[in-house]
Amino acid sequence: SNNIKLKDNKSKKKDLKRKDNEIQIQLNSQFLLELVEKIVAGQIKNIETAEMQGEWWDVVDSIAAKIAGAVIQADNSLRLTFFERWINNLNGTNNKWLRRIAILHQLNYKKETNEEILYNYIKATMHEREFFIEKAIGWALRQYSKTNKKSVSNFIKQNQSSLAKLSIKEGSKYT
């Protein structure tokens, strides 16, 4: 009977130690995530002022979906601070790469995609006959169609006369 109690106590101590380690890992992970978000939020500001000339699509696409999208999901106020200015060219740079980031930032959101923002950003840029913007619009629509085919199909039909053929082709792939 004493032997069983000792084993139970050892087992309880191991469980407590394991739970303590799990809590510590969770706290450390949360701290690191918050730190990364702050660093990346600062980097979004740096992106705006960077001299992006040439063909930056591969870098921009990584920034859009993996970094900017995650940061905006964590702090939606940054969307107003940056993306709204970029889409509407209120920062005065007329930078297609910044507009591409804004269009693509929700690529990985799936059901959490803010449809109104997606469509507003597309409407604000669909008049542009710039390959990388047309392609971004098509890609954003195609990705969102995997979540909401009907909505994307309706959007394309309603805006067919304004959307570029490339955007329609890319956006209609799964509708």
Q: What is the pLDDT of residues 3-22, one digit of tens each?
A: 555 556 666 667 667 676 67
Residues of the chain with pLDDT under 50: none
Strand segments (E) across 58-175: none
Computed on alpha carbons and rounded to an integer, the radius of gyration of the chain in Å comes to 23
Residue 161: CA count within 13 A, CB half-sphere? 1
- Cα separation, 167 vs 64, whole angstroms: 18
Give the model's pLDDT for residue 50. 65
Tokens of 3: 């032997």
Of 131, 59, 82, 71, nearest to 106 by C-alpha is 71
